[in-house]
Structure 1
Amino acid sequence: MTKELVINTTSHETRVALLENGHIAELYIERIRERGIVGNIYKGKVLRVLPGMQAAFVDIGLEKAAFLYVADVLDEVQGVERYIDEGSALAEGGKEEAPILPPIQDLLQEGQEVLVQVSKEPIGTKGARITAHISLPGRHLVYMPTVDHVGISRRIENEEEKERLRQLVEEIRPEGAGFIVRTVSEGKSEEDLRSDMEFLSGLWQDICGLQRRNPAPSLIYSDLDVISKVLRDILTEDVRRIVVDSKREYGKIVQFIETFMPSLEYSIELYQGQEPVYEALGLETEIARALNTRVWLKSGGYIIIEQTEALTAIDVNTGRFVGKRNLEDTILKTNLEAVREVAFQLRLRNLGGLIIVDFIDMEKETHREKVYLALEEALRPDRAKTNILKISELGLVEMTRKRVRENLARTLCEPCPYCEGKGYVKSRPTMVYEIFRQLRRDIGSLPGKQVNLLVHPDLASLICDEERCEIDDLETHSGKQIAITARFDYHREQFDIVAS
């Protein structure tokens, strides 16, 4: 699979697209005025402790208070392990019960100062999710100063390499310091890992110094900009080409690669064409399509993606596809094609939380199993953690996908001011009959012999033509003349009844 990074920068916005076989697989957008805060470290002050929710709200200096759950407060050695050991027991039937966590009020008090890190962006009406377990990502390692543990990326599948890396980190790490070995560390030397370890340890010492000197609430450490994050987290041997349209960012990328990845060969291109780089590569069209509710499949079928506050619903339909053999084969082929598109859209749109996929009903158990396995395989390249349940008899798949930042629609769009986010407006007849009811209630109490009805032009034409008889009837019974005025500046659900 051919992978490329295409970077577009302006004075107000930076966009980084990861292309797989020429199509956008992931899109990262950072705006100067709306820069993301995941990874930032704050010195906060506890505002409220909520025993009933086992959580606390913490002021970290943002518009909305951040949310801190009890499990994100416990010290790993003295807290989490102890409570898991004490609380885990085999219940009847041999099932392990959930660990018993201590009351949140035993760990935090209102007014207490805490060092926390943002783990999830504020999303919708919710404040940021934070944790007291700090993690500092490097190129090869993730440093966890509050956790005495060495972990290895699950994406490293070779058991011998896993053991080699584990022993290497155990030998060179400072006592009590925790590290996670990242996927890009596979095959790396002690020198590579030690260099990363020393840099991250020094960064942590700087953070501790700032924590002691700064008041709460305040920002202690700001994570990297979007380009640096992508280079750190995504740039691997699979990415063969980088295209960037900024000379300044081009120099930074070259320096990064020379510093951290000198042995790897990349094609780094400074784009200098007259046409904007995303337009030239056809990426603007792909981004626009990613905001559509309906996504067509090559066969003629399609999927519908609907996002709500609670979950994302994805519906699979055969559409224009009628198949060639029989109904069961047509359904299976449509579902298998939809699987690939669903996995692709989840990454591209960065959909997270609870996701329900309504596949077309399949009678054969073998077909349901085939679609389920295909979905598991299609989601394998996704860096976000996913959990999938088996397909139900109704053809539904329940799954979760880790949500860290806003999805693409929330980043690029806002609720429609016309329908106020409902996604629809009242029909013309509904509005006209509502106006007639209001007229019948109010017309008798209005002074004068004439009433002026101010409405949207669409409603004015309907009232004057098809519904004229109702106006005539109102005039006859009230003894007043009704003048209808079209107002182009009116919302279609807006009207006024005034005495002339």
Structure 2
Amino acid sequence: MTSELVVDVQSKEITIAVLEDKKLVELQQEDQNESFSVGNIYMGKVKKLMPALNAAFVNVGHKKDAFLHYLDLGVEFNSILQFQKLVEDKKKIPQLQKMKLQPDIDKDGLISDVLKVGQEILVQIAKEPISTKGPRLTAEISFAGRFMVLIPFINRVSVSQKIKSREERARLRQLIQSIKPKNYGVIIRTNAEGKRVADLDAELKILVKRWEDCIGKIQKAKAPSLIYEETGRTVALLRDIFNPSFEQIHVNDSDVSKQIAEYVNLIAPDRKNIVKEYKGALPILDNFGVTKQVKSLFGKTVTFKNGAYLIIEHTEALHVIDVNSGNRNKSKLGQEESAYEVNVAAAEEIARQLRLRDMGGIIVIDFIDMNKGEHRNMLLSKMQELMSTDRAKHNILPLSKFGIMQITRQRVRPEMEIATSEVCPTCFGKGKIKSSFLFTDTLEGKIDYLVNNLKVKKFSLHIHPYVAAYVQQGFFSLKGKWKKKYNANLKIIPNQKLGFLQYEFYDRDGNEIDLKEEIEMK
């Protein structure tokens, strides 16, 4: 299996697509001004204690106060409070290695025993704001790297359970114990398996430096304020999924391309040449077939094999997926074998959809009924195998006697939702439009206005691929006619995101020129 990463950087948002054997398996979209991302560290102020929930609401600057449960304080919370007192002395910077750690907090304690309203505390975003809820917090500060997670204020070293070899687990634990500074804890990630001491030591020093850089900010901080901002989503995603199967990383922005290249050079110097800056005329997501796959994969109905399809419904409480065989030909197989075959194919698509849409919480799947217990067990094993590469924590229950499978999947970010239906760009949903034959006249009018009124001579016109083909067809094409008539440097760009009668103009620097207007139809 080969993997590619496609990064589309726009003025308002960044889109990151992961392709495995050219199939879209993961999609992330992040606003350029996105804040309160998982991993960010804040100096927050306790706004309200909730004894009934054994939790507190903390102001970190979000419009909704963030939620902090007692169990998320971390056993080392007393040491963090002690450290905050030490940094109040602004004449010197305390060193964690020389600090005496405090006793662990009581696991069965009360929030009111350790916090009070108005108190300033150091917290980290554990779950982004979702729907009407504010961020979910943890007071157990950590810094994630490719091979390990660094946790200040504890002395433990633990190893990922996915590393099965006893010898390797012992080697890694002993190695990290010998190189880590005092009063730092480390969780060794699966990617560390088989790595040399030099690689692990280099990353450990980087993570320790991140914490030390935070100390100066903590001394000057006044709640609520940002102390540490997690690495950009592009690099953070790359950190978690990077593996030797990556063949190419395509980026359409020079700055982000350099940022990714520097990170790849840091973690895998021999692979630094896989980062490529995309300079093609077509939108990058169209060029790599991402836009077309998004249009077909994010709707309510998803077709997956020989006419079989899924119906995916989302509610506030859970997600429901119904498996249907459609008009599939069953003549060669009996009903039982046919149901099993459809269910296995559906499981493959469902595992992909869970990652793609980042669906979390409770997922209920209604598979086609199967009578044989052997088939039900094989389907469960298949689903477990398919989801073994899913980085989100999940739990899969066996099929019930009604053919229902229940899955719980960790959710730390809002679910990905993309509208695949298009509103008519001419009537804006009113049901009446001008004749489509006049569309090219509209485009020519806009070009005339651009050249003669706005004095723009070099620009590109983004239109639907079918319209682009019509405009550029023949030796005496409309495009050629417009370029000659208006003496303009015009470039036609087919754009799959646009509807049939939609258009967008961009200047020579790639900035959109807003010439669209809504015409009231009567």
Q: What TM-score, normalized to structure 2?
A: 0.73
* Residue among 234, 253, 278 paired with 1:227: 234
Shift of 1:244: 1.6
Could you tell me how far apart the structure 2 residues matched to 1:413 and 1:67 are? Answer: 30
* Residue among 293, 314, 320 paired with 1:286: 293
Cα pair 2:143 2:150 within 8 Å, conserved: yes
Cα pair 2:15 2:29 within 8 Å, conserved: yes
Q: Which residue of 2 aligns with 1:333?
A: 341
Give secondary structure in 1 for the equivalent of 2:389: coil
Shift of 1:80: 11
Query: In the alignment, does 2:162 pair up with 1:163?
Result: no
Could you tell me how far apart the structure 2 residues matched to 1:265 and 1:154 are? Answer: 30
Cα pair 1:73 1:107 within 8 Å, conserved: no
Could you tell me how far apart the structure 2 residues matched to 1:210 and 1:239 are? Answer: 37
Could you tell me how far apart the structure 1 residues matched to 2:181 and 2:131 are? Answer: 41
- Please identify the structure whose Cα radius of gyration is greater: 1
Shift of 1:165: 1.0
Give secondary structure in 1 for the equivalent of 2:223: coil
Cα pair 1:302 1:318 within 8 Å, conserved: yes
Q: Which residue of 2 aligns with 1:391?
A: 399
User: Residues 489 and 208 (structure 1 numbering): CA distance in 2 closer, same or farther, change over 3 Å?
Assistant: farther
Structure 2 letter corresponding to 1:128: P
Q: Which residue of 2 aligns with 1:65?
A: 65
Q: Which residue of 2 aligns with 1:450?
A: none
Could you tell me how far apart the structure 1 residues matched to 2:257 and 2:59 are? Answer: 38
Give secondary structure in 2 for the equivalent of 1:258: helix
Query: In the alignment, does 2:126 pair up with 1:115?
Result: no
Could you tell me how far apart the structure 1 residues matched to 2:103 and 2:370 are? Answer: 44
- The 5 A counterparts of 1:393-472 are 393-409=401-417, 412=418
Cα pair 1:207 1:220 within 8 Å, conserved: yes
Runs (4+) of structure 1 exceeding 4 A deviation are 76-84
Structure 1's unaligned 5+ residue stretches are: 85-100, 418-487, 491-500
Shift of 1:176: 2.4
Structure 2 letter corresponding to 1:8: D
More off after superposition, 134-143 vs 255-264? 255-264
Q: What per-residue deviation string (whole Å, max 9, x for no partner) do you get for residues 123-173 of structure 1? A: 001111000001111232211113332122233333322221111001111
Query: In the alignment, does 2:352 pair up with 1:344?
Result: yes
User: Residues 296 and 36 (structure 1 numbering): CA distance in 2 closer, same or farther, change over 3 Å?
Assistant: farther
Structure 1 letter corresponding to 2:347: V
Shift of 1:363: 1.7
User: Residues 35 and 82 (structure 1 numbering): CA distance in 2 closer, same or farther, change over 3 Å?
Assistant: closer
Structure 2's unaligned 5+ residue stretches are: 79-101, 424-519
Q: What TM-score, normalized to structure 1?
A: 0.76
Structure 2 letter corresponding to 1:6: V
Give secondary structure in 1 for the equivalent of 2:363: strand
User: Residues 43 and 82 (structure 1 numbering): CA distance in 2 closer, same or farther, change over 3 Å?
Assistant: closer
Cα pair 1:242 1:266 within 8 Å, conserved: no
Query: In the alignment, does 2:372 pair up with 1:364?
Result: yes
Could you tell me how far apart the structure 1 residues matched to 2:33 and 2:182 are? Answer: 41
* Residue among 305, 308, 315 paired with 1:308: 315
Structure 1 letter corresponding to 2:160: S
Cα pair 2:264 2:272 within 8 Å, conserved: no
More off after superposition, 233-242 vs 56-65? 233-242
- The 5 A counterparts of 1:211-290 are 211-264=218-271, 266-290=273-297
Q: Which residue of 2 aligns with 1:148?
A: 155
Q: Alpha carbon RMSD of aligned pairs, Å?
A: 2.5
Q: Which residue of 2 aligns with 1:378?
A: 386
More off after superposition, 257-266 vs 10-19? 257-266
Shift of 1:322: 3.9
Could you tell me how far apart the structure 1 residues matched to 2:58 and 2:202 are? Answer: 35
Q: What per-residue deviation string (whole Å, max 9, x for no partner) do you get for residues 219-262 of structure 1? A: 11111112221232222212122112222222222222223321
Q: Percent identity?
A: 39
Cα pair 2:77 2:140 within 8 Å, conserved: no
Could you tell me how far apart the structure 1 residues matched to 2:389 and 2:293 are? Answer: 20
Structure 1 letter corresponding to 2:2: T
Q: What per-residue deviation string (whole Å, max 9, x for no partner) do you get for residues 263-295 of structure 1? A: 346533222211111111211011222320111
Could you tell me how far apart the structure 2 residues matched to 1:396 and 1:337 are? Answer: 16
Cα pair 1:74 1:80 within 8 Å, conserved: no
Shift of 1:185: 2.0
User: Residues 80 and 70 (structure 1 numbering): CA distance in 2 closer, same or farther, change over 3 Å?
Assistant: farther
User: Residues 402 and 214 (structure 1 numbering): CA distance in 2 closer, same or farther, change over 3 Å?
Assistant: same
Cα pair 1:77 1:148 within 8 Å, conserved: no
Shift of 1:186: 2.2
User: Residues 80 and 374 (structure 1 numbering): CA distance in 2 closer, same or farther, change over 3 Å?
Assistant: farther
Q: What per-residue deviation string (whole Å, max 9, x for no partner) do you get for residues 317-340 of structure 1? A: 111124222211121111111110
Q: What per-residue deviation string (whole Å, max 9, x for no partner) do you get for residues 340-369 of structure 1? A: 010000001110111111111222211111
Q: Which residue of 2 aligns with 1:175?
A: 182
Could you tell me how far apart the structure 1 residues matched to 2:311 and 2:195 are? Answer: 44
Q: Which residue of 2 aligns with 1:41?
A: 41
Cα pair 2:4 2:18 within 8 Å, conserved: yes
Cα pair 1:117 1:132 within 8 Å, conserved: yes
